[in-house]
Structure 1
Amino acid sequence: MRRYARSLITIALAITTVTGTAGWASGNTQQAVTGPPPGTAAWRADRVLDRRLPDPERSTPAEVSVFFRGLTADQQQTLATRHPLVVGNLDGVPVRLRYRANALSLRADHDPRYARLAAPGRQILAFDPRGRGQVAEVFGNLDTARHVAVVVPGSDIDAGTFDRTNDVYGTPAGMAKSLHARTGPGSAVVAWAGYTTPVGLGIDAATGSLAEAGADRLTRFADGLAADGVPEPAVFCHSYGSVVCGLAASRLRARDLVVLGSPGMRADDVADLHTDARVWAAKDATDWIDDVPNVEVAGLGHGPDPAAPEFGARHVPADDARGHTGYF
């Protein structure tokens, strides 16, 4: 009976897992946005080039890259103009063509949440308005960068909160800007909010279903960067984003995985991630995530603390960080 009671307590604690950047809040169950980009049906039917276009759902990023390299500049621009939502979100399409396509999509979208994203000069690498909206933005020059990083954020992040002005370092854009400012010329940083994140405290934050969908999208995104000749990145995984990275690790093209403020990676230790990437972890003493129990019971909770010595990750000092969003 005592063991049963302890199990119930553990499950209850797991449910309280809060893995987002917005703190203690009521959670709402989310439906993950998956599948090919919006506009795929019209893309599949288009014969403007007198040939079949690569299927966004079935073609690999490498196959997409080969197709676009075989087009003239005018043909590429034609596709971007006719199908901006597909071209802008299709991994394997040349980076600058994706910027162009997403600028067109954002100018055509009159949702006030996205007005800031449409500002001239922004390098929007992905823009999917479905659901709460997904965005990726580049800081620096991906074409010439010798060192590349990708920032994967946690809960409560979407197209509307991607670069909110309050709690700047709790947003993917703020994290990426800060990281790029420190790494300087020769580097590029991608703020990748390319998956459906949990909202506040709720079952989504305590389970891995949204992270599993996010892991698929993250691995395909990284494959697209590789197909375009971008160096293998260091991936910075914050909060629930580290759950995404943990589930993606075995197939993710990454030089390093840097885990910050993690509730767990759904792995027992570094070896259990099955990755050749170097794994780093940090958690500052004032981060409330430290109060979240590192358990996984009946699918609830995300397992051991990656910042604990026994997990086996390389230690990143975080003495100067403050709170859950102070790492950058």
Structure 2
Amino acid sequence: MGWILRGVRSGYGCSRRVTGVHGADDHNRDGTAPTRRTHRSRRALLATLVVTAVVAPLSAAARPEIPAPPPATLPKLTAATLGTAYAANRANAEAAAHMAAAHGDTHRAEADRKLADPTRHLLAFDGRGTGKATEVLGDLAHADHVAVLVPGSDTSLDTYPRFRATAEALQRQLNRTAPHRTRTAVVAWLGYRTPDTLSTTVLTTGRADEAAPGLSEFVRRLHRIAGPSATVSLVCHSYGSVVCARAAAHLDIDDLALIGSPGTGADTVAALHTPARVWAARGKDDWVGEVPHVRSDLLGVTVGFGTDPVSPAFGARVFAAGEGGHSDYFTPGSVSLTNLARIVLQDTPEVTRG
């Protein structure tokens, strides 16, 4: 059972590969249809994953709640009020840093203090608990193309720098490749309480269902800021792809890119009920490809996310992601980052297919 535990520890937000798990959604590796025994094995494996997640020690469970002020009171977000919102959220992050330091949590205090830097552009900030933040890179008010990044498990204010690094990588790629006079912005949306890697929540849509209304509302506000002519693309990584899928029917977006996705909870693109172009990609060394893409009812709880998004049965536009692993989609110079920038810039004929 050791390899199963390693797989659970890898989670839907990390890069370690799961070995020994069959990952095809409709067929075995030799092209034959799966047998009843195969389906039973997958269900048994999923049940074991749930049991393991329940009994495994949770590293964050014993951590005390970190005190922080309630979120700042903001004006109605428009292009004209962005500066006011940025300043209010930075002040709130600074206050949260002082409270965390007084509480003895120097790590959180430092994370909050960095977000309070005058150069940071926070559309939202909440330092309570694991924390939430929405940060803008680029000139959102005048952007022609906007990308919204939605992260996977174990993303919090404590681990926020690694999430921000993905937004920075995409913004640099957009700046390098956008046509002359084309303006872009990237938004890092940590707007939900992500599941812990070592938990049952990472195997269900529960957290995604909680997050979906907030994402829908944020995209509506985004159009009010950037204007009706700006294109909006969602780039959703790992468990974040489940969040995006649950919100998809209520999102006014141009493109939806699912990367390193364990599944969406929907069997097909049509079931997402979105007019957006739906893209999917997986790196060749991404362990998510070895996770059983099934849904099963276990003890009254639906576990798993169904059809593999890169399978023909799902119906997404599959694009190349290269040789990388679960955390490599935003590596500078990578095929995946190049293609993501092309999708955001609406240069879809140049996207290399997977």
- State the TM-score bracket (shorter-chain normalisation): 0.7 to 0.9
- Secondary structure at the counterpart of residue 279 of structure 1: strand
Q: Who is 2:168 aligned against?
A: 177
Tell me the CA shift for residue 116 of structure 1.
Answer: 1.5
1:86 aligned counterpart, secondary structure: coil
Match of 1:306 in 2: 309
1:10 is the counterpart of 2:12:
no
1:155 CA drift (Å):
0.3
Is the 2:122–2:134 Cα contact (8 Å) retained in structure 1? yes
Q: Distance in 2 between matches of 1:309 and 1:248?
A: 22
Q: CA deviation at 1:129?
A: 1.6
Runs of 4+ in 1 over 4 A off after TM superposition: 2-9, 25-30, 90-93
- State the AA in 2 paired with 1:224: R
Task: Quote the Cα distance in structure 1 between the aligned partners of 2:208 and 2:196.
Answer: 13
Deviation (angstroms), 1:86 = 2.6
TM-score normalised by structure 2 residue count = 0.68
Q: What CA distance in whole angstroms lies between the structure 2 residues aligned with 1:219 and 1:91?
A: 15
Structure-2 separation of matches of 1:209 and 1:28:
21
Residues 27 and 281 of structure 1, relative CA distance in 2, 3 Å threshold: farther
Counterpart secondary structure, 1:85:
coil
> Cα deviations across residues 184-210 of structure 1 (Å, max 9, x unaligned)?
161000011110001113210001110
- 1:101 maps to 88
Q: For the structure 1 residues 160 and 97, does the alpha-carbon distance in structure 2 shift closer, same or farther, using more than 3 Å as the test?
A: same
Cα–Cα, structure 1 residues 6 and 260, in superposed 2: closer, same or farther, change >3 Å?
Answer: closer
* Deviation (angstroms), 1:4: 9.9
1:104 match: secondary structure: helix
Q: CA deviation at 1:91?
A: 6.0
Identity of aligned residues (%): 40
Alpha carbons of 1:147 and 1:5: their partners in 2 closer, same or farther (altered >3 Å)? closer
Residues 203, 189 of structure 1: CA spacing in aligned structure 2 closer, same or farther, 3 A cutoff? same
1:285 corresponding residue in structure 2: 284
- Structure 2: which 5+ runs fail to align? 1-34, 51-55, 62-68, 101-108, 176-181, 331-354
SS at match of 1:191: strand
Q: How does 1:1-328 map to 2 (within 5 A)?
A: 7=40, 9-10=42-43, 12-13=45-46, 16=49, 27=58, 39=70, 85-87=72-74, 94-109=81-96, 110=98, 111=100, 112=109, 113-163=111-161, 171-184=162-175, 186-230=183-227, 231-298=230-297, 299-320=302-323, 322-328=324-330
Q: 1:15 to 1:196 in 2, by over 3 A?
A: farther
Long gaps (5+) in structure 1: 18-24, 31-37, 40-83, 164-170
Q: What TM-score does the superposition give when structure 1 sets the normalisation length? A: 0.73
Residues 24-47 of structure 1 deviation map (CA, whole Å, 9 limit, x = unaligned): x855799xxxxxxx75xxxxxxxx
Aligned alpha-carbon RMSD (Å):
2.6
Aligned residues: 260
